[in-house]
Amino acid sequence: MHPALRLPLILVLTLSWAAAGFASPDDDTPRPANLRLASVAAAVGPLGADSVTYAKHAGEVLSIASITKLMTAMVVLDSGRPLDEWVTVVERDEKAPNNAYSRIRIGSQLKRGDLIRIALMSSENRAAYVLSRDYPGGREAFVDAMNAKARSLGMNDTRFVDSSGLSPENRSTASDLLKMVRAAFGYERIREYSTTAYFRARFRKPRYSLSYGNTNPLVKGSRWDVNLSKTGYLREAGRCLVMVTRIDGEDMAMVLLDSFGTRTPLGDAGRVKRWMTTGDGGRVAGAALRYERKRTEALQQALTASN
């Protein structure tokens, strides 16, 4: 072979890796194929852009449980009603579709801002319900406002039927929720309330107080810089998590839907972070992986049947 046709070994290997679809040894660009998540659906993207860094079944419509409460908070804040105004806690006017246990006493009062805070940070269902009942026009008008807000954000595959997320009929896609998270981040109060680690709510008529902790342990740790957070769970929805966190100096929005076990979406968040910083997508525990496969198969069968 003519010497001029001899290529350096490293260049030959680089070309071979590129042809096979792999990164070269010096290329640490995250490859979607390297990331394995336990969540059935996911979407990840930079906060300040419309682009998507990673997507998995992001267009499939799923139950979203208490992720709903981010929209609830936006609608209440959009109304412009005073956050320091006392709101009376009322009984539900219909049976909840799922367990709606709450420690809050019927007839007592809490400030509107505190109701939003505990609905976001601790996923307090009665607080979310009271916020909808207190809205001008009542609960029906509130749900209409939620759906109107979703349409304004381009969330075309989203439908809300209640403010708490207790109904499995609150449904959306990971792609739509990525839009919602980006919009919610624009509200200073939502950023503050949703990432409050601990809070003591002080009620009146009668006077008493209740302590609340954040349902996302990552907001309490020093290894994460979480700037917005919401968890969710229903049997129909699995474990869900949306949040905004800073990775390598950039705010990234994550949507993780339908996973197994309380810590599984936290593990997925860690896998996303590691994947973005090192290219390594990590591994999923056996039980979580079996759950993901079972739920994905059921989803695919339902889609086939509907077609």
Q: Give the total number of structural domains in the chain.
A: 1
Per-residue pLDDT averaged across 149-171, rounded? 98
Query: Is 295 within the bounds of a domain?
Result: no
Active site amino acids: 66, 69, 123
Please write the tens of the pLDDT for every residue from 54-68: 999 999 999 999 999
Task: Classify the phi-psi angles of 199: left when phi > 0, otherwise alpha if psi is within -120 to 50, otherwise beta.
Answer: beta
Which range of residues forms the domain containing residue 103? 31-279
Q: d(Cα 49, Cα 295) in Å, to the nearest integer?
A: 31
15 part of a folded domain:
no
- In the predicted model, is pLDDT for residue 14 greater than 60? no
Based on the number of CB atoms within 10 Å of its own CB, is 161 exposed (0-12), middle (13-18) or buried (19 or more)?
A: middle
Spatial separation of the C-alpha atoms in residues 173 and 175, rounded to whole Å: 5
Residue at 103 is within a domain: yes
What integer pLDDT is reported at residue 29 of this predicted model? 61
Q: Does residue 189 surpass a pLDDT of 50?
A: yes
CATH code for the domain of 102: 3.40.710.10
pLDDT in tens, 248-284: 999 999 999 999 999 999 999 999 999 999 999 889 9
Terminal-residue alpha carbon distance, the chain: 58
Q: Residue 149: inside a domain, yes or no? A: yes
| pLDDT for 146 | 98
pLDDT band at 12 (very low <50, low <70, confident <90, very high): very low
Tell how far CA 51 is from the center of its chain.
Answer: 17
Alpha carbon distance 142, 174 (integer Å): 23
The answer to whether residue 48 is domain-embedded is yes
Residue of higher predicted confidence among 7 and 97: 97
> Average pLDDT of 117-126?
98
Return the structure tokens found at 200.
Answer: 């003591």
Using alpha carbons, list the distances in angstroms from residue 92 to 89, 98, 130: 10, 13, 8
Asked if the structure places residue 110 within a domain, the reply is yes
Domain assignment present for 10:
no
Is 20 inside a domain boundary?
no
Give the pLDDT band of residue 33 (cuts 50, 70, 90). confident
Q: How far is CA 29 from the centre of its chain?
A: 25
